[in-house]
Amino acid sequence: MAVREKRRGAPPLEGDEQRLRRKQEEAALLLRRIRGLVRWVVEEVVAGRSPSIVLHRYRNYCSAADAASPSPCVCSYDAPVGTDVLSLLHKDCHTSRLNALLRVLLVVQQLLQQNKHCSKRDIYYMYPSIFVEVAVVDRAINDICVLFKCSRHNLNVVPVVKGLVMGWIRFLEGEKKVYCITNVNAAFSVPVSIEAIKDVVSVAQYILVVEKETVFQRLANDKFCERNRCIVITGRGYPDIPTRRFLRYLIEQLHLPAYCLVDSDPYGFDILATYKFGSLQLAYDANLLRVPDIRWLGVFTSDFEDFCLPDCCLLHLSPEDRRKAEGILARCYLHKEAPEWRSELEAMLQKGVKFEIEALSASSISFLSDKYIPEKIKKEGIYKIDGHTLYPS
Ligand SMILES: [Zn+2]
């Protein structure tokens, strides 16, 4: 409990040194707790008993909401919605799940003891016949996080980073200089861990998050950042943990507004929702990974007519798209926190059409960076001047 509560209670603007000290304290505490659990399991087995572990179940959303009468549900970013009992010897009690959990825990213990890092794929290849697939390792890592109330980065299990960043920012990632500001049109990898970031300096007025790498490259080619004081980030599809943590870190450290640009289709909407609400798979950590204030910049179903896009760019929603959209519409967080987003998705479903961000380039290749994004940002009217974030009246 202490690891998570300590982090939640920490001031958002602590210094680099404080953050490093906190990380070392957390690692030492976690290691003590892991050793305690492993010792207890061994003692139980030696004594001929079947050790069992109670794991909380988390859910940041459900699909129980009905359009006509949204029913109150128990989904929460902080409180568990139920429990699973994992037992080592009782066959019907998630035996293999607990077995995988303990195997991964031993690896994590080693990593923390030696202050080393590895990927979940590395862990899989240590016991491939036991884990069968990487997804089993993934679940075990989730279970360990829930059990010890910590996040994946606390376990020294590092992800492969997908995200890219460019624009008016510079920082140190450990000893590595990530000076995007020296060439604002060049793509840099998002840092693996925000704990390694030091000395962040930025003169940006806002952060633009784009769903796709192709759009990120379009903006780079158009020298969008040269003409607009911003930071552009892409998670290249569904954003991974480092991208979401980095985005959240920048918003908190730099007090910048963030806008998100996704395709006008159910998958684009789901990616947008992942940024704002977190994913179900990482529900136990959603509150630390999500960006609740992210704003939806586009593209909207209505943009197609507003910007007179050619009919050839418009596609009909497939049966799978419809199923996906209907599933998202039923999610309780939209009812609770973003009814206006829900209305947009409903409009898409009613019209039965979708189109990609790139459709905006149909009339002019640089329309997106010359007109669409600057005008939408201006309309939103929220930007940062001289350290103050301005809001429209
Ligand atoms: Zn719910």
Quickly list DSSP for 3-34. HHHHHHHS-TT--HHHHHHHHHHHHHHHHHHH
DSSP string, 255-306: ---EEEE--BSHHHHHHHHHHHH--STTGGGHHHH--TT-EEEE--TTHHHH
Strand partners, 355: 264
Q: Which structure tokens are listed for 249?
A: 């870190």
Give pLDDT tens digits for 292-339. Answer: 999 999 999 999 999 988 899 999 999 999 999 999 999 999 999 999
Q: Residue written as tokens 């000395």?
A: 199
Q: How confident is the model at residue 16, as a pLDDT?
A: 72
CA of 64 to the centre of ligand 1 (A): 6
CA distance 215 to 221: 10
Q: How confident is the model at residue 8, as a pLDDT?
A: 39
* Annotation marks residue 238 as catalytic: no
Could you tell me how many residues make up the chain? 393
CA of 286 to the centre of ligand 1 (A): 14
DSSP label of 47: T
**pLDDT > 70? residue 371:** yes
* SS3 of the chain: helix, strand, coil, percent, to 5: 50, 15, 35
CA distance 132 to 129: 5
CA of 121 to the centre of ligand 1 (A): 33
Q: Taking Cα atoms as reference points, which of 124, 205, 154 lies closest to residue 29?
A: 154
For the residues 341-354, what does the mean pLDDT come to? Answer: 96
Who contacts 300 (Cβ-Cβ below 8 Å, separation ≥6)?
264, 344
What is the band of 68 on the pLDDT scale with cuts at 50, 70, 90? low
Q: Taking Cα atoms as reference points, which of 221, 232, 294, 306 lies closest to residue 264?
A: 306
The full set of domains in the chain, from first to last, is: 2-51+88-155 (no CATH), 164-388 (3.40.1360.10)
Vertex 64 angle, CA 340 and 240, to 5°: 65
Q: How confident is the model at residue 384, as a pLDDT?
A: 53
CA distance 326 to 361: 29
Residue 56: strand, helix, or coil = strand
Q: Phi and psi at residue 245, in whole multiples of 5°?
A: -65, -40
| Burial 238-266, CB ≥16 within 10 A → b, else e | ebbbbbbbbbbbbbeebebbbbbbbbbbb
CA of 289 to the centre of ligand 1 (A): 18
For the residues 110-125, what does the mean pLDDT come to? Answer: 94
DSSP string, 344-358: HHHHHHHHTEEB-GG
Strand partners, 316: 353
- For the chain, the straight-line distance linking the first and the last C-alpha, in angstroms and rounded, comes to 42
For the residues 279-295, what does the mean pLDDT come to? Answer: 93
**pLDDT > 80? residue 71:** no
Q: Which structure tokens are listed for 362?
A: 């149909």
Q: Which structure tokens are listed for 134?
A: 């990487």
Q: Residue written as tokens 């492969």?
A: 160
Residue ranges of E strands in the chain: 52-57, 82-87, 164-167, 169-173, 176-179, 188-189, 197-202, 206-210, 230-234, 258-261, 295-298, 315-316, 353-354, 383-385, 388-390
Mean pLDDT of the chain: 89
CA of 68 to the centre of ligand 1 (A): 15
CA of 233 to the centre of ligand 1 (A): 30
**Bond into 160 cis (ω within 30):** no
CA of 335 to the centre of ligand 1 (A): 9
CA distance 1 to 197: 25
Give pLDDT tens digits for 233-258. Answer: 999 999 999 999 999 999 999 999 99
Give pLDDT tens digits for 14-56. Answer: 677 787 788 888 889 999 999 999 999 999 999 998 899 999 9
From the candidates 61, 77, 124, 125, give the one annotated as an active-site residue.
Answer: 125
Strands 206-210 and 230-234: parallel
CA of 327 to the centre of ligand 1 (A): 13
Q: How confident is the model at residue 66, as a pLDDT?
A: 60
CA of 85 to the centre of ligand 1 (A): 23
CA of 65 to the centre of ligand 1 (A): 7
CA of 254 to the centre of ligand 1 (A): 32
